[in-house]
Amino acid sequence: MMETGPGSAFSAGAGARAGAPSGHNVHPPYEQLNYQEQGPVVRLTLNRPHVRNALSIQLSDELIHAFERIRDSTELKVVVIEGAGGTFCSGDDISEMPRWGNANDVMRRVSGYQHMADTLEALDKITIARVDGYAVGGGLEITMACDFVIATASARWGMPEVDVGITPGWGGTTRLARLIGRRLAKEVNLVGALHPASRAAELTLWNRVVPNDQLDAEVDRLIEVLLSKNQQAVRQLKLIIDSGVEADLKTAQAFEKLSAGLSGAVNGGWQVEDADQAAGLVAFHEKGDLWQRRRGLARDFWTDGPVGTHGDK
């Protein structure tokens, strides 16, 4: 971190303030992010290998732009995120933090990072983190927002923010605690150690650890399996798992029931006898008899309040 006087690390005098990360700041082509579409697969490569792909202000903006671009695509099915130069991501670029501004500016910036992670997590595509080298701090937070994580045996991970005197802002305490539990999340954050990839797999933080020379082959094998599936079913499964895990059991089961009904509909059983097969929409457009009857019955029904006066003399 840059040497500064007491209380001045986030001061307004440290240079032009960065503002909150936003895709609105970006006009492709990207400079610090490689974006490559290969049919239904898109590969995003963090490309700052000289600083272990630390998330600069610019790279963060480019990531948000890329995630929103992918979100809007109906052709892409799988997203692979990786780092250039044999490492995944070493987290936020600490050297730029003086540009983050005052305490309110920092909160606004962290809100932008949370938006970035939430956008990644909510994509209706399957996301794969391809991890080599270091995935620490913000780098680990990216992996936690992905659906799958495949890493080399030599990869290392952790949340070392405590030794810089800062706290994680977009998953290092929240998603981590949900993935591995409160006690282990405290250990990871309060100690700040760098752990081997094997421990991430043991904790179910990552899916699979492979020999260093087999990473690409294993990612490609997973992509082949995923693309063989009914993609509508894949989208529904991701949605109900991610939504259900944050809900009580009954609400989560309601998601499952609705998803089962949607599956029945898209597989051909959409004509439910006491539904009107879009007749209501047609009647509204044409202002036909069905629309007139429904609105005639409903428009003024009980509009006199809870104490009825209809028929009173």
- pLDDT one-digit tens code per residue, 230-281: 999 999 999 999 999 999 999 999 999 999 999 999 999 989 999 988 999 9
Which pLDDT score is estimated for 25? 84
CA–chain centroid gap for 247, Å, is 18
Q: What is the residue whose two structure tokens read 């007749």?
A: 279
Catalytic, out of 62, 96, 161, 218: 161
Beta strands in the chain (DSSP E): 33-38, 41-46, 78-83, 126-131, 134-136, 148-152, 156-158, 195-196, 208-210
In a domain, 273, yes or no: no
DSSP string covering 177-244: HHHH-HHHHHHHHHH-PPEEHHHHHHTTSSSEEE-GGGHHHHHHHHHHHHHTS-HHHHHHHHHHHHHH
Which pLDDT score is estimated for 10? 54
Residues 156 and 53 in one domain: yes
Q: What is the residue whose two structure tokens read 């490569």?
A: 45
Of 174, 196, 227, the residue that ends a domain is 227
Residues 134 and 248 in one domain: no
3-state secondary structure of 49: helix
Residues 114 and 72 in one domain: yes
In a domain, 62, yes or no: yes
What Rg do the C-alpha atoms of the chain give, in angstroms? 25
CATH number for 88: 3.90.226.10
Residues 148 and 192 in one domain: yes
Residues 136 and 235 in one domain: no
Residues 72 and 152 in one domain: yes
Beta-sheet strand order (sheet of 208-210): 33-38, 41-46, 78-83, 126-131, 148-152, 208-210
Q: pLDDT tens-digit profile of 183-233?
A: 999 999 999 999 999 999 999 999 999 999 999 999 999 999 999 999 999
CA-to-CA dists, residue 239 to 104, 124, 125, 231, 256, angstroms:
33, 8, 10, 12, 10
Which pLDDT score is estimated for 310? 62
Residues 181 and 253 in one domain: no
Eight-state DSSP code of residue 30: P
Q: pLDDT tens-digit profile of 73-89?
A: 999 999 999 999 999 99
Residues 222 and 236 in one domain: no
Name the domain count of the chain: 2
In a domain, 306, yes or no: no
In a domain, 122, yes or no: yes
Beta-sheet strand order (sheet of 156-158): 134-136, 156-158, 195-196
Residues 77 and 107 in one domain: yes
Q: pLDDT tens-digit profile of 34-63?
A: 999 999 999 999 999 999 999 999 999 999
In a domain, 290, yes or no: no
In a domain, 2, yes or no: no
Q: How many Å apart are CA 43 and CA 106, to the nearest integer?
A: 30
- Indicate the pTM of the whole model: 0.90
Q: How many Å apart are CA 131 and CA 228, to the nearest integer?
A: 24
Residues 198 and 253 in one domain: no
Of 179, 209, 227, the residue that ends a domain is 227
Domain span including residue 208: 12-227
Catalytic, out of 141, 218, 256, 273: 141
Residue among 87, 208, 209, 86 at smallest CA distance from 139: 87
CA–chain centroid gap for 112, Å, is 12
Of 177, 207, 227, the residue that ends a domain is 227
In a domain, 279, yes or no: no
Residues 29 and 133 in one domain: yes
In a domain, 295, yes or no: no
Told to judge if 141 belongs to the known catalytic residues of this protein, a careful annotator would answer yes
Residues 149 and 239 in one domain: no
